[in-house]
């Protein structure tokens, strides 16, 4: 049976174990779209000891959404048969901070508390292994629970931020969205050189210090800023922002 046709809930059990003894090991890391969340970029660039700008330039591609804003995905290596650039002979070199989509695989989220699988067992032989767990146990074991907390603000942004039809304003909104969500180090640099923005948002001295030194606090501030919505941001960017 094709596992991709199954519909499961968090209490459903499934068999899965990935290890280097499988002949499909690492094959799922080639020629695939791996989209990165803001929290993914934060964790991966810090693990690699890179700035966000360096990480994004070297390892990602921008993907424009129908909304006009862009998200990022990992840039597969054209020199190595479209293999993920983080794959080595021994496995994933960013495994400790691997992206959300890699953590949840082979499980697929369907929404509404329903799940299925990204692969069928003929491709992912780990689905034929004997180790059993529930969907809920898998999510917990893979460290996915913190992502919901970290990125709640990100998921709410589309409800607040829309393009206006004014090219000049929209270009600035698009740039601000990308900066605040993904390019955190350059976003921090901007904030440190334009403290009046924090003042307009009534950021306390203590909060400003957190933003200066903590990437998670900076990311959350970016989400907070974007959640002000198009009309408020239009006023800011028309005068000084980006």
Q: Evaluate the CA torsion angle 149, 150, 154, 155 in order and state its sign.
A: negative
Say if CB 177 and CB 226 are below 8 A apart: yes
Tens-level pLDDT at each residue, the chain (242 residues): 677 888 999 999 999 999 999 999 988 998 999 999 999 999 999 999 999 999 999 999 999 999 999 999 999 998 888 999 999 988 899 999 999 999 999 999 999 999 999 999 999 999 999 999 999 999 999 999 999 889 899 999 999 999 999 999 999 999 999 999 999 999 999 988 877 777 777 888 899 999 999 999 999 999 999 999 999 888 877 655 55
Please name which of 72, 75, 92, 82 lies closest in space to residue 20, comparing C-alpha atoms: 92
**Contact indicator for 51, 185 with CB cutoff of 8 Å:** yes
Query: What separation in angstroms does the CA of 32 have from each of 45, 198, 237?
Result: 21, 40, 37
The number of CA neighbours under 13 Å toward the Cβ of 15 is 10
Report the distance separating Cα 205 and Cα 202, nearest Å: 9
H or E stretch covering 74: strand 70-74
Structure tokens at 202: 């009534």
Q: What's the predicted TM-score (pTM) here?
A: 0.91
């Amino acid at each position: 049976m094709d596992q991709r046709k199954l519909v499961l809930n968090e209490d459903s059990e499934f068999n899965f174990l990935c290890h280097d003894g499988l002949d499909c090991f690492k094959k799922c890391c080639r020629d695939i779209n791996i989209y990165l969340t803001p929290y993914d970029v934060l964790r991966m660039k810090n693990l690699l000891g890179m700035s966000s700008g360096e990480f994004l330039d070297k390892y990602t591609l921008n993907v424009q959404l129908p909304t006009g804003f862009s998200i990022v995905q990992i840039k597969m290596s054209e020199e190595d048969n479209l293999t993920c650039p983080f794959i080595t002979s021994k496995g994933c070199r960013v495994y400790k901070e691997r992206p959300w989509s890699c953590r949840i695989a082979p499980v697929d989220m369907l929404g509404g508390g329903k799940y299925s699988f990204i692969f069928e067992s003929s491709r992912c032989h780990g689905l034929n292994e004997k180790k059993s767990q529930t969907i809920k146990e898998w999510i917990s074991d893979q460290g996915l629970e913190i992502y919901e907390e970290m990125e709640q603000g990100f998921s709410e942004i589309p409800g607040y931020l829309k393009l206006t039809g004014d090219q000049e304003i929209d270009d600035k909104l698009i740039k601000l969205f990308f900066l605040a969500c993904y390019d955190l180090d350059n976003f921090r640099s901007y904030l440190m050189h334009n403290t009046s923005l924090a003042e307009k948002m009534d950021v306390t001295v203590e909060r400003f210090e957190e933003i200066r030194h903590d990437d998670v606090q900076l990311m959350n501030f970016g989400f907070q800023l974007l959640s002000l919505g198009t009309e408020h941001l239009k006023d800011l960017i028309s005068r000084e922002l980006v």
